[in-house]
Amino acid sequence: MQMMRWYNPKIRAEEEVQAPMSEAQAIEMLSGNSRSNQFIQEYRRMRAMHSNIVVALTLTGETFYWEHRKGQPPH
């Protein structure tokens, strides 16, 4: 079982989870939120550039991390 650390855009927090083993599992990790269509669209864009599912999912999380941070005061 491979673990991954990523920013989950659904909960707006970093977490350590079991890495998805399939495309369907990765999409499921992004589903169930009012913005899921945007998350999945970004994942598919990243997936087209990266053959590794975990890399694509991690980069998707990073994209939304920076979007969520816009306008936030520095810590």
Q: What is the structure's pLDDT at 68? A: 87
Secondary structure letter of residue 15 according to DSSP? E
pTM of the model: 0.89
Alpha carbon of 64 to those of 1, 2, 34, 50: distances in Å?
26, 23, 14, 18
Q: Give the per-residue pLDDT at 71.
A: 62
User: In 3D, which of 7, 47, 39, 41 has the Cα closest to residue 23?
Assistant: 47
Domain ranges of the chain: 3-13+20-69
- Each residue's pLDDT, cut to its tens digit, for the chain (75 residues) gives 899 999 999 999 999 999 999 999 999 999 999 999 999 999 999 999 999 999 999 999 999 999 888 866 555
